[in-house]
Chains A and B, each alone.
Chain A
């Protein structure tokens, strides 16, 4: 698997350096946007795996931004760097904005790394599941076609077999 791309959306430029230091640039390409609008432009123009957004971004409410991201790019995993994790915000973020995880500020490198890597793991799992489902569906269609054409193979197709993997 190639490098994963993380889009960091934060008002403060120096956060990028801190996040680069925490995640390391070997496994991640990290790009930076200073507000929600810029972040959306980035998403349009680049392949992004994870969006890491600060709760207090400018120009746009963070939850509003993350809701748009989820709606337009459902495969992108979103993580919110939260100043506060009160019940309402958290609930809204999960239910309305589909936020994958919160990281409470001040965060530490380890928390950030593990949350990002779990987010990617989740994303890869979804992609893999989709791929498997497509393959199975393709095979099913083909088997149906074959059975229609050669009815005598139905015993093979509908056998009860156990498979060891």
Chain B
């Protein structure tokens, strides 16, 4: 598997540096952006697995940004960074914007890394599941075609097995 790509969005350079430090040791490819708008540009140019975005930023808010990103790229996992005071907003956003989790600043390094690892693991599983569903659909199609072209082949006994895949 190649390196996972994580996009970190915050309008404070200090936070971007800290987040990059926290993550780099775990060997991810980290791209940073200073606003939601800039983040959306990055998404057009790079395949990103995970986004970590601050909530309070100039321009569009973190929630807005993550909502748009999730809508355009549903397989991306989104994590929101938030100050303690904005925790309420963050909690609402989890359901509303399909956010995987939020991380409260200042974060615990181990917790941040564990959260990111688990999020990427889930993303991997989602993609694997998509692939398996496609493969299953393909097999179903093949069974249908066999049945159509050679109706005698799939005897009742076999047919049951094939139909069971629907």
Residues of A participating in the B interface, judged by any CB pair closer than 8 Å: 85-87, 90, 94, 100-102, 104, 110, 114, 118, 121-122, 125-126, 128-129, 132-133, 135-136, 138-140, 142-143, 146, 150, 152-153, 156-157, 159, 161, 163, 165
Q: 9 pairs across A/B with beta carbons < 8 Å?
A: A102-B114, A118-B118, A122-B118, A129-B125, A142-B158, A142-B162, A153-B146, A156-B149, A163-B138
Residues of B participating in the A interface, judged by any CB pair closer than 8 Å: 87, 91, 94, 100-101, 108, 110-111, 114, 118, 121-122, 125-126, 128-129, 132-139, 141-143, 145-146, 149-150, 153-154, 158, 161-162, 165
- Let me know if B128 and A146 touch, CB within 8 A: no
User: Known contacts A125-B129, A129-B128, A150-B153: does B137 contact A102 (CB below 8 Å)?
Assistant: no
* Identity of the chain A residue whose Cβ is nearest the Cβ of B138 in the assembled complex: A163
Give min CB distance, B104 to chain A, whole Å: 9
- Let me know if B128 and A143 touch, CB within 8 A: no
* Identity of the chain A residue whose Cβ is nearest the Cβ of B137 in the assembled complex: A163
CA separation between A106 and B4, bound complex, in Å?
32
B108 neighbours in A (Cβ, 8 Å): 85, 104
- Let me know if A136 and B139 touch, CB within 8 A: yes
- Let me know if A101 and B134 touch, CB within 8 A: no
CA separation between A118 and B111, bound complex, in Å?
15
* Most A-side CB within 10 Å, residue of B87, B132, B158: B132
* Identity of the chain B residue whose Cβ is nearest the Cβ of A132 in the assembled complex: B132
Tell me which of A85, A110, A121, A163 contacts B110 (CB under 8 A).
A85
- Let me know if A90 and B142 touch, CB within 8 A: no
* Identity of the chain A residue whose Cβ is nearest the Cβ of B99 in the assembled complex: A114
- Let me know if A122 and B121 touch, CB within 8 A: yes
A152 neighbours in B (Cβ, 8 Å): 150
